[in-house]
Amino acid sequence: MRAFFLILISICVLPLIVRPVIATEIWIFAIFGLGLNLLLGYTGLLSFGQSTFFGSAAYVAGWLLKHYGINVFIALGIGVGVGALSALVVGYLCVQRSGLYFIMLTFALNQLFYFVAYQWTSVTGGEDGMQGVPRPEFLGLDFKDPLVYYVFVSVLFLASLWLMKRIVESPLGRILQAIRENEVRAGAVGYHVPRFKLLAFVIGGAFSGVAGVLYAMLFGIVPLEAIGFVFSGNVVFATLIGGSGSLYGPIIGSFVFIWLSESMSVVWARWPLLLGVAFVIVVLFLRGGVVEAWHRFWTWRRSSKPAT
């Protein structure tokens, strides 16, 4: 409950501290992270190609928005659909493998999609990206206003968070966590493990697709990097830094990642060096991410209080 209020407060306060565009991007990235974390944190699947679903949905929705004038809600539906469908295809190929194979496969398939997007310049614009993605108004809501769009995205984020909470606390969520803990035993108990992994993929893909569509509408462009491995990597790292063991990890990770990269890039051109160092430090000393560090801190505080 406390977490929920904290989030609600940050939603209200954030646009006062940073520009609405950056604030919106943070929530979009958080939705992206939630999708990834269903796979990474809950099912134990390190999917290193999430931008496949993010980017594919962005391109398809962007195309339809641009050339067929669909409205924002249909665009979101497209996001869910394309994200889920692409995840189904990729997931089907990947869940048959585990461990390192799985990771490499997701990465390599991501590259395949990337190069297809790169070549299909008539549709995607290739290197230049798909430019001129509109944000049409609907039902009197002028989404072009940065603040209106921010509220819209925040509401969607809250809905995503609520939905993800329901999923992970449901029987499905428990099964996924069981798979994460011990795949063989979960299979022995009678669960068709590959099918559940595929389901996790599809759901994660749907969330990624929504994030992708929102991203396209935010910047009015679907850049090629939206389907590239750097984006895939970023969401994984942000989630790990936030803490993949918690529902809220991706949210914190999104904050930390976007805020830091934006503010550091102005100060030092070579800031990726610091980012790399941060990764190394997190891995060696702060493995649960921010969430873990927070728990450790509170445990330490409680234990160092004198007994009454």
Chain residues in the site for other proteins (CB under 8 A): 19, 21-22, 25, 40, 46, 48, 93, 96-97, 99-101, 103-105, 107-109, 111-112, 115-116, 118-119, 121, 125-129, 131-132, 215, 219-221, 223-226, 229, 233, 236-237, 240, 244, 262, 265-266, 269-270, 272-273, 275-280, 282-284, 287
Output 279 or 298, the one with its CB closest to other proteins.
279
- The interaxial angle of helices 72-94 and 51-68, nearest 10 deg, is 150
CB distance 249 to 242 below 8 Å: yes
Could you give the angle at which helices 272-285 and 249-267 cross, rounded to 10 degrees? 150
**Residue nearer to other proteins on the CB measure, 81 or 233:** 233
Paired residues of 221 in beta bridges: 131
Query: With respect to other proteins, which residue has the nearer C-beta, 7 or 255?
Result: 255
Cβ proximity of 272 and 234 under 8 Å: no
Q: In the complex, what is the shortest distance from the CB of residue 223 to other proteins, in angstroms, rounded to a whole number?
A: 4
Minimum CB–partner distance for residue 235 and other proteins (Å): 12
The length of the chain is 308
> In whole angstroms, how close is the CB of 7 to other proteins at the nearest point?
24
Give me 239's structure tokens. Answer: 């989630």
Q: How far is the CB of 91 from other proteins (least distance, A)?
A: 13
Give me the torsion for CA of 247, 252, 253, 256, rounded to 10°: 180
CB of 133 to other proteins, least distance (A): 10
Least separation in angstroms between CB 1 and other proteins: 29
Contact 32, 24 (CB under 8 A): no
- When the beta carbons of 270 and 301 are compared against other proteins, the nearer one is 270
| Residues paired with 157 in a beta bridge | none
User: What is the C-alpha to C-alpha distance for residues 220 and 131, in angstroms, rounded to an integer?
Assistant: 6
User: For residues 214 and 219, what is the distance between their CA atoms, to the nearest angstrom?
Assistant: 9
In the complex, minimum distance from the CB of residue 161 to other proteins, in angstroms, rounded to a whole number: 22
Q: Which is nearer to other proteins, 77 or 220 (CB)?
A: 220
Alpha helices in the chain, H assignment, sequence order: 2-17, 20-37, 51-68, 72-94, 99-119, 121-124, 146-169, 171-181, 183-189, 193-219, 229-242, 249-267, 272-285, 289-304
Hey, is 129 helix, strand or coil?
coil
Query: Between 1 and 267, whose beta carbon lies closer to other proteins?
Result: 267
Least distance in angstroms from the C-beta of 19 to other proteins:
6
Closer CB to other proteins, residue 201 or residue 215?
215
Residue 226 and residue 105 in contact, taking contact as beta carbons nearer than 8 Å: no
Residue whose CB is less far from other proteins, 52 or 154 = 52
